[in-house]
Structure 1
Amino acid sequence: MPTHPDADDSELLMLARAGDAAAFERLVAPHRRALHAHCYRMLASPHDADDAWQETLLAAWRGLASFEGRSAFGTWLYRIATHACLRLIARRPRRITSPEHGPALQGTADLGDMVPGPVWVEPWPDGAAPGTGLHEDPADALLRRESVALAFVAALQHLPGTQRAALLLREVLGYSAAEAAGMLSTSVAALNSALQRAQKTLRDRMPAVSQATEQDRLGEAGLQQLLGDFVSAWERRDIEALVRLFTEDARFTMPPLPCWFDGRAMVSRFIAERVFTTPWRLRPLQANGQPGFACYMRPEGAGRHVLGAILLLSLREGRIQALHSFLDPALYRRFGLAPELD
């Protein structure tokens, strides 16, 4: 949680109030990544988080004169950002996952049409996450990874905006009930009531074990072995070796295509009949605190592999429980991925 500004920040604040844009940028810079992550958790889309962050910056610049220093500057920014997110939530439909759009397919011939627009829960590059340092405390690292995990962010979207904000301010950002109530312009009793309802909804929708804990239980060596086996089987198009890595209830989703496949048998059938018709090369990446890959496919007759998907994996008990494939080119640019490989 942000601390009160020091003397240097007070001087920057004075300069910013006098119209010094560079001083304002220096004031905001230490909070930028964490605030952007907060907006992402609220909205489940890095693109929507951009909109909320830009609205936050504009409101903070215009409202500097109203900041009296009775709370930390960062706390004031979080208040502005949270209300910017709440306004977006009120104007836009909530982001959903593929199983919420419709039932799983029972065949692989027709995958349907893309459903574009602000519809889907989207991934968040780990490089954009706050607190990723060499000397980060292990407990803090675990909380950071859990706080942006796909399952957690997707579950948050089932909460009304105020419940979403109450839970994030209290349980992720660590504000006291009084501080969070003040930031939401409500009473402590109302804040606690919203938090209790949010906690119950999340308990019903979250897996018993978080992805961060699943990875820690597997250990670094075990995780790298699993990922290495996955890449080897995928690039060899060895369906039998690949399927051995899946849980019985494995899922495969691919927004903005609404289709998805449920169960190891249907996932393996889809991969064998549709995915493995072309050669692939995988390059590792990290998103939402989860392992993933940039997936490059080589179309028939082409001399190069072109970027075809961002694939994130969800794990359970040392196996792959879900494959989340994202096909939106706008996400590829956000991850800074090369469009093709030699």
Structure 2
Amino acid sequence: MHDDEAAFAELVTRHRPEIQLHCYRMLGSFHEAEDLAQETFLRAWRYRADYRGPGTYRAWLYSIATRACLDVLKRHRRRQVRTSLPDPSPEATTSYLAPTPPVAVPWLQPYPDHLLDEVVDRNAESGASPASTVVARETVELAFLAAVQHLPARQRAVLILRDVLDWSARETASALGTSVPAVNSALQRARPAVRQHLPSRRLDWTAPANSSAGDRELVRRYIDAIERSDATALAELLVADARSSHQAGAGGHTGTEPAWYQGRGTLVAAWAPVMEGPAGGPSLRMLPVRANRQPAVATYLRLPCQPDYMPFALAVLSLANDRIAEVMAFRPEVFDAFGLPPRLGNDES
């Protein structure tokens, strides 16, 4: 493979989906993960003489990708994660949710399910790690991705290599150029730190990954209620202490900090400007998608002065007891990654 560009290109095609996912776990940003996957393969070609044979290629790529991500994180040391947000409804129960919503991580972006499926398919073809290890729901959910972003860079790398990819301490130490005791020490610090930011009711967090007919019907009803401006129907779909969180710049929220709402009535009231506004006012269209093994909806907004519906937000939904428990709205900059159209005509749905 040292000088065979065609063979190298075939290996890139085979391993790129899971290397990009690894970079996404490290960085939390879909777009940065794309760039770092490309950087990984550029480095791999540059240092191809270090490649020791087919049995080591996958681990070699993961090592290169991890170090590339660490280089980026070293340059981005000033990135700040909000550690707390004011809760507008302190009397409501919050037992199953993380202390802060994932949108509190400013750079966090959703990840398309069709790319996760590609990782599964590629691994099945090559006989690599089973899908249950590589794309287990609890390691691609936004709650986990946000929690990992709170860790220092090397602790983050150790946690992902050891607990997500199931590498040994020796393999992890070799990839990071450190010692086994250092890896074990980093893991001991990383695990409790991540748990502080994860949902306390683990059964809710690890709900079945596959989209059921019931889930799809619930999302369809959610879309229908909003597009028809039916506040009563929307309220029926929400749990009593439902939350809605908006990344800065997402879903009409233009502040510099994320917005966070709680309570069924509060959420329905937040939709009032669109659902109960004057005739001829703003209107919405929504398309169902899936992100991070969760149902999601892409929202388009049309203002009275516009002929088309334009990207507004991508909202990831958390479901509990056949109801919607949380709506997390992210900026629409990832629409392309989901294969979504850049606009919808007035006659489209």
Distance 1:209 1:94, change over 3 A: farther
Distance 1:341 1:62, change over 3 A: same
What is the aligned partner in structure 1 of residue 207 from structure 2? 214
Q: Distance in 2 between matches of 1:142 and 1:60?
A: 21
- Is the 8 Å Cα contact of residues 313 and 322 (structure 1) preserved in structure 2? yes
1:34 aligns with 2:30: no
Q: Distance in 1 between matches of 2:25 and 2:78?
A: 12
Amino acid at match of 2:284: W
SS of structure 2 residue aligned to 1:284: strand
What is the aligned partner in structure 1 of residue 266 from structure 2? 266
Shift of 1:209: 2.5
What is the aligned partner in structure 1 of residue 115 from structure 2? 128
Amino acid at match of 1:261: W
What is the aligned partner in structure 1 of residue 227 from structure 2? 235
SS of structure 2 residue aligned to 1:251: strand
TM-score, reference length from structure 1: 0.81
1:295 aligns with 2:294: no
Amino acid at match of 1:193: S
Distance 1:80 1:133, change over 3 A: closer
Amino acid at match of 2:106: V
1:255 aligns with 2:247: yes
Q: Distance in 1 between matches of 2:311 and 2:87?
A: 25
- Is the 8 Å Cα contact of residues 308 and 344 (structure 2) preserved in structure 1? yes
- What residue ranges of structure 1 are gaps of 5+ in the alignment? 1-12, 107-117
What is the aligned partner in structure 2 of residue 86 from structure 1? 70
Question: Which 10-residue stretch deviates more, 302-311 or 54-63?
Answer: 302-311
Distance 1:70 1:214, change over 3 A: closer
Shift of 1:269: 1.7
Amino acid at match of 1:335: F
Shift of 1:57: 1.4
Shift of 1:219: 7.6
Question: Which 10-residue stretch deviates more, 229-238 or 156-165?
Answer: 229-238
Q: Distance in 2 between matches of 1:230 and 1:215?
A: 20
What is the aligned partner in structure 2 of residue 282 from structure 1? 286
SS of structure 2 residue aligned to 1:158: coil
Q: Distance in 1 between matches of 2:159 and 2:145?
A: 12
Counterpart pick for 1:331 among 314, 331, 334:
334
What is the aligned partner in structure 2 of residue 112 from structure 1? none
- What residue ranges of structure 2 are gaps of 5+ in the alignment? 90-104, 250-256
Distance 1:101 1:202, change over 3 A: closer
Amino acid at match of 2:342: P
Counterpart pick for 2:34 among 47, 50, 69:
50
Q: Distance in 1 between matches of 2:66 and 2:122?
A: 29
Amino acid at match of 2:61: L
1:72 aligns with 2:49: no
| Identical aligned residues as a percent | 38
Distance 1:83 1:219, change over 3 A: closer
- Is the 8 Å Cα contact of residues 95 and 157 (structure 1) preserved in structure 2? no
Distance 1:332 1:221, change over 3 A: closer
Shift of 1:70: 9.0
Shift of 1:194: 1.3
**Residues 195-214 of structure 1 aligned to structure 2 (within 5 Å):** 195-207=187-199, 208-209=201-202, 213-214=206-207
Paired residues in the alignment total: 312
TM-score, reference length from structure 2: 0.79
What is the aligned partner in structure 2 of residue 60 from structure 1? 44
Q: Distance in 2 between matches of 1:135 and 1:221?
A: 27
Shift of 1:324: 1.5
